[in-house]
Amino acid sequence: MSSSSSNGNSSSANVSQLFQAAHAEGVLSPQALQALTVVDLGAQIQAGLGISVDDVQASEVVLVTVMPDDSGSIQHAGHARTVCDGHNLVLDALLSSQQKDGVLFHTRYLNGFVLNPFRPLEDVVRMHSKNYDPDKGTPLYDQAVVLLGTVLAKAQEFTRNGVSARTVTLLITDGADCHSQSSRPRDVAALVNDLRRAENHIVAGMGIDDGSTDFRKVFREMGIEDKWILTPGQSAQDIRKAFQVFSQSAVRVSQGAASFSRTALGGFGA
C-alpha cells in the first residue's frame, strides 16, 4: 500500500521536488502547496504513481483516476457490488476506445488502499469482492488531497519529460467527511482550483444518496464545479447510470485535446 521504509524517504523527496517545481512554474498555488506538504504525504502519493514515464511510449497521455468509497455505509446500503460494477464499467468503456493505448488508470479507495497505481488499461485490476470490502470510515478531505496530489505529481512527471498529460478524476462517497485528520474542504479546493486553472484537468464528484447529505454543497466546498457533480439515488440502476455518464466523459477526454476542451467546458452535459 505504501513504499517500504528503505525507499520511503527518497520517494518523499522525489514527490516533494515535483511539487516544488510545480509551484515554481506557477502550476501550484501557495495554498495548494501547503495542503500537500503540511503533512508528509510522499509515501502515500508515491504508492499511486505506478508506471515509470520512461516505460510509456506516447507523445500524450490521459490519466484516469477513480476513488471508490470503501466506508462501511456502502456495505450497509448494499452498494458494494454496484460500486465494483461501476468501476469496471469505466474500465471497459476505456478499453473499447480507439485511444486506449494512451490511457493510464489509477484506483485508490477512499481509505487509502491503492488497488491500481497508474498503469496501462490492459494491466488494470478489476474490483470484486476479494479486493473490495467496504468496512471503514470517510476521510474524504484527507484522501482527496492525497489523490489529487498523486494526479498532479504524475502529470508533472510527464510534462517535465515532454509528454502532454490530460487528467480526469472521480471522487466517490456516500456520506459527508467524518474522519479527516489534517485536511479541510478549502485544502481540497485549493488543489482543484489549481488543476482547473491549468486547463488540462477535470475533477468530478459522485455523491450516492444517503438520505441526508447535501452532496452538491459538499463537493462545491471542495472546489468541484456543479457541472462535474453526480448525485445518483440509492438504486443500483441509478448508481450504474452515474458511472456510465462518467465513463462517457472519460472516453471523450481520451479523444484528443479539442475533445477534452469541449468536455471540460460542458461538464457531464457535454
| Average pLDDT of every residue of the chain | 94
Mean pLDDT to the nearest integer, 199-204: 96
Residues 6+ apart with CB under 8 A from 200: 155, 164, 165, 166, 167, 260
* pLDDT confidence band for 10 (50 / 70 / 90): low
234 sits in which H/E element: none
Mean pLDDT to the nearest integer, 63-88: 98
pLDDT score of 8: 46
Q: Flag whether pLDDT at 12 surpasses 70.
A: no
Q: Flag whether pLDDT at 11 surpasses 80.
A: no
CA dihedral 98, 205, 153, 41 (to 10 degrees): -140
Q: Tens digits of per-residue pLDDT, 175-187? A: 999 999 999 999 9
Q: Flag whether pLDDT at 257 surpasses 80.
A: yes
Mean pLDDT to the nearest integer, 229-237: 97
Q: Which domains does the chain have, with CATH numbers?
A: 10-266 (3.40.50.410)
Q: Flag whether pLDDT at 126 surpasses 70.
A: yes
Contact (CB, 8 A) for 70 and 110: yes
pLDDT score of 38: 80
